[in-house]
Structure 1
Amino acid sequence: MRTKRFLTALTAAALTAAMATPAVTAAHPGQHGPLDGHLLGPGAWGDLQLLGKADLTDTDDLIADVAIDPRSTHAYLANWGKPTCDANREDGDPDAGAYVVDITDLANPRRIGFIPHSQDSRPGEGMQAVPIGTRFYNGTMLVMNNEHCGKNGKGGVSLYDVSNPAKPVKLSEHFGDRANLSLGDSNDIHSAFAWDAGANAYVVVTDNFESGGPDVDILDITNPRRPRLIHEIDINAAYPQLTQPQLGLTQVFLHDMTVKRINGHWVLLLSYWDGGYIQFNVDNPTQPTLIGDTDFSHPDPQLLESTGQARTPEGNGHQAEFTSDDEYFLGTDEDFTPYGATDFAISTGASAGPYPSVPVPGSAPIVVLSDEVLNGPVVYGGYGCPDSAAVPTPGSIPGYEASLQPGEERIVVLQRGPAGDPSAPEPACFPGQKAHQAVTAGWDAVVVVQRHGGPENPPYCGSGGFDDLVVAVCTSHEAYHRMFGTPVSTTYPDGPAIGTVGERVRATAAFDGWGYVHLFANRLDAGGKFPELDTYAIEEGMGEARAVGFGDLTVHEVATDPNHARRAYLSYYSGGMRALEIMCTGPDSCELVETGGYLSPTGNDFWGVEAFTRDGTTYVAGSDRDDGLYLFSTTR
C-alpha cells in the first residue's frame, strides 16, 4: 500500500509548501489552532488543467452533486439549501433544487436555468442525467433524490425530461417506498441511480427511513410518469455473512450505488458503509442475486503505512465506480472525523467505567479543548431539535455551575431522534442542529446518546448539520441510562426528566486520519471476495499537522475515465480535485499513482466529480460546495 506518488514535476515537498498557510477565520482556536479554513494550493498541476468555471452562489455549503448530460453540453448541480432548506435572500440564492449550466463553451460555462424542488425538500447526492428509451419515453432524464429539511418536506425520487435543458419538464416527483406513513409521502432517499435495460428502465435508491433494513429500493421507471416500487433488498437480514461486526463495523447501510452492463449482465455495485462494497446481478431487478463483496482489511492499511499505527478499520464505504474496461473498481471511504475511537467513560457513581463511543461527524474534535480532554458533570437536555422542548441553560440548573472544577466543560446530553416517542411527535433533526440549540443555551459540549433500538457497539448518532464549532461525542443508549442512574429501558417513556444532573464523564480522542480510496480487482478470490490491491490518500489527510484548521481532508467521490481504463478522478473536499492512474506490473500488483490535480490558491471544497467525453477527449467536471462548477481538461 502507498500513501501518495507523483509522476509530475510538482514534488510532494513543493505542494506541501504551497499549502502550508491556510486562510482561516479565527473561532474557538484551542491548542490545535482554528477549526475553520482551507488548504491553499498552487492551482493546477500535472495532467489536470482548469478550463473554466461558473460561479453559482455566494453562500457556503450550498452546492452538492454534479451531473453531465450524455451530449456533454449541459451540467446540473444540486442546490441543497442548507440543513433547513432556507433560501439566502441576501445573496439571492433560491431554495433547494438544481442549477442548469450550459457548458457548450467549456471555457465559459454559464447558468441558464434552475429547477426548483418542493418546499422543504432538497436534492444532494443523487443527481444523474441519463438517456432513457422505452415505449413510454425517449430522451434525456434528470434523476434527483429528495430529503426532508422542514415540516413540509417530501421524499422519494424526482424525474425530469431535460432533452431540452433550457425547458425542463417534470415527469414525476416524490415516488418511492411509503413504509413510513407518518411522513405523508415517500420515504427520504439519499441517492439514486437509473439505467436503461432495453425494453424497461429502472432506478435504484437509498431508503433513508429503512436504513439498516430493506434500504435498497428498486423502482420500475419504464413509464417515468408512473414509477412503481418492484423490489427491496435487506442486506442485514438476508446476507449477514457480508458484515464484519467483530471489527466493530456495525453501521451497515446503503449510501450510494451504480449499475453497469458487464460481460452481458447488469451489475449493481452498492457502497454499503461498514458493510463494504457489494455486487448483485440485476438482470431481473425483481430477483437480484448476490455476486460478492469486499472486506475492510485489518489493521487499517492506509493508517498503518502512513503513521505506523495498527488500528481497526473504520469502514465508511461511501461511493464506487468501475473502470471503463471493468477490470477494477474504486471505492471512496468518507470519514469526516480525523480524531476517532474516543475513550469515553463515566468517571463517578455506581456505573463508573468505559462505554463505547465515536465522534459525531461534522463536530469539533476533542483535541481543540485546551487540555485535549472532555470532562465534567452532565445534564439531560432532551432531544434538542428546533421543535423539541427547549434545552435548559446551565444557569437554570441549581448548583450546577458551582460544581464545575477547573478544566471541566458544561456538558449537555441530547438523545438521538425523536423517532417513535409519543411524548415527542416533532421531526428528528441533524446532530448539528441539536448542537446549535445547546450552544445557544450556553453549553460547551454535547454528548449525543443513541436512542433505544439503535446500534450500541459502536453507537451511531447521525452526522452533519453543524454550523457551530462545538465538541460532540456519541455514546450508547445504555451509557445514557447509566449516566443518570435510571433503568436501561427499551420502551417509552424513557430516561430522566430534562434538567436532571448526572454523573461526571471523561473522553479523549486519538488521530486516525481522514477518509481515503480503495482499489479492488473486479474478480472474486477463493473466499468469494473482491481482492483489495491498493489504497490512496493525500499526504495532508494522513498527518495530524493538518487535522484541524485546513477544512475537510477526506475523499468524497470518484469518477473513472470513459476513455482510459486506468484513469480516475477524485473530489477531495478541501484537498481539491485529484487525478489518479492505476499502474500494474501483474494481476495482483497494482498501485494508485497521483498524476495531477487542482487546488485553488484560495482553497476549494469539492463535492461531486464527473468525467465526460467530447470529440473523443476526456474532460472532468467538479462541483465546489461554496462556489459552483469547475471544468478541467486532462492532458497526457
Structure 2
Amino acid sequence: MTGTDVVQGEGFVWRARELDGHLPSVSYGVTLVGKATVTNPSGAGLARHIADVAAYGDYAFLTVYRHPTCVRTGAYVMNISDPKAPFEVESAFIETTNGNYVGEGPCVIEIANEYFSGALFIHPHEHYILADAPDPTEPRQRGGINIWDVSDPENAQLLAAHAGDYTDSHNEPADQALAAYYTCAWTDSSTSRTYVSFVTDKPTTDIVIMEITDPRNPVMVNALDLRIAPFHVTGDPSKGLISVFGHAVDVRRVGDRYVMTATYWDGGYVLLDVTDPTPGNVSLIARTEYAEIDEERAKRGQQIWPEGNANHHDLSPDAEYLVGADENIEAYRLFGTITSGPHAGTEYIAAWSSGSAPVNADHPISGTPTFVGSGCPGTVPPGRGIALIERDASILTGGSAPGCAFQEKLDAITAAGYSAGIIFNHQGPDAMQQFPTAARGTIPLMFVNRLTGLRLLGVPGVTEETAGTTPTPANPVACATDVKSEFVGWGYLRLFKTDIPRSGTGSVTQIDTYAIPESQDPRYGTGFGDFSASHVAIDPDRRLVYATFFAGGLRVLSYGSDGLREVGAFREPGIDFWGVKIHKVGEKNYVLVSDRNFGLYIFDF
C-alpha cells in the first residue's frame, strides 16, 4: 500500500516511524558503489520525501512524494554517468501541477514512429486532498499521468498532462482525472502501437490501458475491473481478505503473447493476456490464492490468517518465475469482538494507524462507542471512551463533498476528550475495504470496513453484499466492543512457478516464501522502522532478485525450483529503501534504489 497512497486520498501510507534505535549495519555479497542526495526545491526537507526510481541512459529519475509538504512535487533528475559519483541535476527538476504528488511506478520507454522518436518518461499523479490542498482552478489539473520527452533528460519537455480516466465511480464524466499510480508502457512489435497501463483509485474499473503511439494525444483503450466476469479475482472474507483492488502492473512479451502481471492486494497476483487490449479481448491466464494459514507465522508456531497485500512483483526474463512482495506495514493486527447488541460475539479485524497510539494496556479499546458522525472539526460533541466515526464521501467514490481528512477527524475527537477512535468506511462499491490511515496522534485510531461499522451501530441483517448500499441509521445506538492487538509480523516475499502457454489459461504455483528475520521478531515490532518487503527487481542475466525492505535495507536472493536463498544484504543506520530498478550504465548493470529520506543508492552485485 507503504511510500505511495495505495488507497486513494489517505489510505495505505508509508510513514517514517519515531525510532528508538537502529539495527546494526550489514554488508555482504553486494557493494555500495555510490549514492547521492537531493535538494527539495520547496525548502521543506527530505523526511519521507522520495518515492520510486526509474532510469534512462546516464540518468535516473526519483519521484517526489507528498511529504514533508505537497509543494513542488514531480521528479528529480540524477546524473549517474559515473555510478561512483552520482549527483542531482538541480536545474533539470521535473515539476508537476500543484495539488498532485508522484508516488510509485514511474516508467521509461523508447519509441520510434511517425509521431515521435525518442525516450518517454511517464509518471502517475495522486491527488493531494488534505486540508491545505489547493483547489483546481480549471479542468485537467489532477490525477492521471504525465508524459515527458526525456531524450535530453536535462531538458524534459511535457508532451501530455493528466491523461487518464475522466469518469467518476458512477461512470459519469468528470473534469479531473482519477488518481493514478504504477505506470507500465510497452510497444506491440506486430502492430507498432505503444500502450501504457496504470492503476487508478476507482472502486470498479481500476486498471486503465491507453494508447500512446502518439504520445501528445493519448487515447483511452480499456478499463478493467478484475473482480467481475470474466476474471473473478476475489479475496476470501473468511480469512479477512476483503480489500481487493489493483496496485501495480507490468507487461512483458512472452512468445507471441503480451502478458500483464498485476497485483490485486488481497486478491493476490494476476496474469492477463493483453495482446489485444481492447474491451472484450483481455483474458485471464492465471491467478494466485492465499493459503489458509500465514506461512511465515506458521514457521514460528502462530496459526493466523494471511495478511494478503500483494503489492509489487516482477516476472523472470524466461517468464518461468514470478516474485511477489506482500507489503504489510503493520506488524500488529487488531482483533475485535462486538460484545453487545444483535451482533454480540461477532469478531472482526481492524487496521491500526501506526502514527497513532498503540492499542495496549495503556491505551485499551473497550466499551460502548459514541457515534460522532463524520468526526469533522466543529461537529464532535465532548465525550469519553471510543468515538465511532463514518468516513465521508471522497474522490474515490466521486463524492462532491469530500468532508475532512483523517488527520482532522483524529484531532477533533482527541480535542473533544475521547481516548480512541474507530473509523468505518462509507457507502459505495469500496465499502468492504479497510486500511491504515496516515493520521498521527496521541490516542489509538483504527479503520474498519462498512460491514463492521454498521454492526457496531446495531444494524440488523446487514451482510457483506448489502453493506455498501445500506445507509447509516439516524440516531443509532452503538454496541460495545473489545479490541486487542497481536504481533503478526511484517510483509514478505513469495516465489511462484509460472506456466504461460502459447494460448489459453496457465497456472501460478507458489514455491517458497522469504522474510527478513527482524520482520518476524516481536522485539522489532516498533521503534526500529518498517521491515516489510516493498519492491522487487529480477536480474536480466542471472537468477537473482533484488528486494527492498524499508529500514531492513536491500536483500539479494537467488531463486529457482529450490526456492529463495539470501546471497547478499545491505543495511546501514537510518536507511529507508523503497523503489528498486536494474539499469545498465555503459556496459554494466547496476541496482538503483530509492531512499525515502535521502535520495539514490547505487549497488553492484
TM-score class, shorter-chain normalisation, is 0.7 to 0.9
Residue 183 to residue 108, structure 1, CA distance change in 2 (3 Å)? farther
Matched AA of 1:298: E
1:223-258 Cα distance to aligned partner (Å, 9 max, x none): 111101111222111146443425332221110011
| Mapping for residues 209-608 of structure 1, pairs under 5 Å | 209=202, 211=203, 213-239=204-230, 241-245=232-236, 246-286=238-278, 287-305=281-299, 307-340=300-333, 342-349=334-341, 351-360=343-352, 362-364=354-356, 366-367=358-359, 369-371=360-362, 373-384=364-375, 388=376, 390-392=378-380, 396-397=381-382, 400-401=383-384, 410-419=385-394, 425-427=400-402, 431-432=406-407, 434-454=409-429, 459-468=432-441, 470-484=443-457, 494-496=472-474, 502-523=478-499, 528-564=506-542, 566-582=543-559, 584=560, 589-601=561-573, 603-608=574-579
1:64-111 Cα distance to aligned partner (Å, 9 max, x none): 111111x2x11111112239x533xxxxxxx21111111112122111
Of 171-180 and 128-137, more deviation after overlay is shown by 128-137
Q: Using the TM superposition, give the Cα deviation of residue 298 of structure 1 relative to its aligned residue in structure 2, in angstroms.
A: 2.2
- How many corresponding residue pairs? 559
Q: Using the TM superposition, give the Cα deviation of residue 42 of structure 1 relative to its aligned residue in structure 2, in angstroms.
A: 4.3
Q: Using the TM superposition, give the Cα deviation of residue 461 of structure 1 relative to its aligned residue in structure 2, in angstroms.
A: 3.1
Indicate which of 579, 588, 592 corresponds to 1:621.
592
1:123-160 Cα distance to aligned partner (Å, 9 max, x none): 10121122122221111111110111033360111100
Q: Using the TM superposition, give the Cα deviation of residue 612 of structure 1 relative to its aligned residue in structure 2, in angstroms.
A: 1.4
Matched, 1:64 2:51: yes
1:465-491 Cα distance to aligned partner (Å, 9 max, x none): 234364222334344345445676866
- TM-score (normalised: structure 2): 0.85
Matched, 1:169 2:157: yes
Indicate which of 589, 612, 621 corresponds to 2:583.
612
Cα RMSD over matched residues? 3.0
1:520-577 Cα distance to aligned partner (Å, 9 max, x none): 112169995311111111000011111111111111100111221x111111111111
Q: Equivalents in 2 of 1:304, 1:253: separation in Å? A: 26
Q: Equivalents in 2 of 1:502, 1:258: separation in Å? A: 45
Residue 516 to residue 282, structure 1, CA distance change in 2 (3 Å)? same
Matched AA of 1:354: T
Residue 177 to residue 515, structure 1, CA distance change in 2 (3 Å)? same
Identical pairs, percent: 29
Q: Equivalents in 2 of 1:504, 1:222: separation in Å? A: 58
| Mapped contact 1:611–1:618 kept (Cα < 8 A) | yes
Q: Using the TM superposition, give the Cα deviation of residue 431 of structure 1 relative to its aligned residue in structure 2, in angstroms.
A: 4.0
Matched, 1:80 2:65: yes
Q: Equivalents in 1 of 2:331, 2:146: separation in Å? A: 35
Q: Using the TM superposition, give the Cα deviation of residue 170 of structure 1 relative to its aligned residue in structure 2, in angstroms.
A: 0.1
| Mapped contact 1:249–1:315 kept (Cα < 8 A) | yes
Matched AA of 1:290: L
Residue 630 to residue 318, structure 1, CA distance change in 2 (3 Å)? same
Give secondary structure in 2 for the equivalent of 1:139. strand
Matched, 1:36 2:18: yes
Residue 315 to residue 491, structure 1, CA distance change in 2 (3 Å)? closer
Any stretches of 5+ residues in structure 2 without a counterpart?
1-15
Which residue of 2 is the match for residue 103 of structure 1?
Answer: 80
Give secondary structure in 2 for the equivalent of 1:68. strand
Residue 120 to residue 529, structure 1, CA distance change in 2 (3 Å)? same
| Mapped contact 2:356–2:442 kept (Cα < 8 A) | yes
Which residue of 2 is the match for residue 187 of structure 1?
Answer: 178
Residue 527 to residue 172, structure 1, CA distance change in 2 (3 Å)? closer
| Mapped contact 1:563–1:616 kept (Cα < 8 A) | no
Matched AA of 1:521: K
Residue 599 to residue 111, structure 1, CA distance change in 2 (3 Å)? same
Q: Using the TM superposition, give the Cα deviation of residue 346 of structure 1 relative to its aligned residue in structure 2, in angstroms.
A: 3.2
Give secondary structure in 1 for the equivalent of 2:228. helix
Give secondary structure in 2 for the equivalent of 1:238. coil
Q: Using the TM superposition, give the Cα deviation of residue 427 of structure 1 relative to its aligned residue in structure 2, in angstroms.
A: 2.1
Matched AA of 1:53: K
Residue 507 to residue 42, structure 1, CA distance change in 2 (3 Å)? closer
Q: Equivalents in 1 of 2:251, 2:487: separation in Å? A: 36
Residue 527 to residue 121, structure 1, CA distance change in 2 (3 Å)? closer
Q: Equivalents in 1 of 2:568, 2:427: separation in Å? A: 47
Which residue of 2 is the match for residue 20 of structure 1?
Answer: none
Which residue of 2 is the match for residue 160 of structure 1?
Answer: 148
Q: Using the TM superposition, give the Cα deviation of residue 371 of structure 1 relative to its aligned residue in structure 2, in angstroms.
A: 5.0
| Mapped contact 2:286–2:505 kept (Cα < 8 A) | no
1:7-57 Cα distance to aligned partner (Å, 9 max, x none): xxxxxxxxxxxxxxxxxxxxxxxxxxx962176344451121212211125
Q: Using the TM superposition, give the Cα deviation of residue 464 of structure 1 relative to its aligned residue in structure 2, in angstroms.
A: 3.7
Residue 183 to residue 119, structure 1, CA distance change in 2 (3 Å)? farther
Matched AA of 1:618: N
Matched AA of 1:47: G
1:240-296 Cα distance to aligned partner (Å, 9 max, x none): 644342533222111001111122321110111111111112221212222111121
Q: Using the TM superposition, give the Cα deviation of residue 622 of structure 1 relative to its aligned residue in structure 2, in angstroms.
A: 0.9
Q: Using the TM superposition, give the Cα deviation of residue 429 of structure 1 relative to its aligned residue in structure 2, in angstroms.
A: 6.4
| Mapped contact 2:309–2:328 kept (Cα < 8 A) | yes
Residue 467 to residue 483, structure 1, CA distance change in 2 (3 Å)? closer
| Mapped contact 2:209–2:222 kept (Cα < 8 A) | yes
* Bigger relative contact order (CA 8 A; separation at least 6): 1
Q: Equivalents in 2 of 1:570, 1:469: separation in Å? A: 34
Matched AA of 2:251: V
| Mapped contact 2:314–2:324 kept (Cα < 8 A) | yes
Give secondary structure in 2 for the equivalent of 1:480. helix
| Mapped contact 1:48–1:598 kept (Cα < 8 A) | yes
- TM-score (normalised: structure 1): 0.81
Q: Using the TM superposition, give the Cα deviation of residue 377 of structure 1 relative to its aligned residue in structure 2, in angstroms.
A: 3.5
Residue 304 to residue 355, structure 1, CA distance change in 2 (3 Å)? closer
1:268-327 Cα distance to aligned partner (Å, 9 max, x none): 10111111111112221212222111121222222211x222222221111111123322
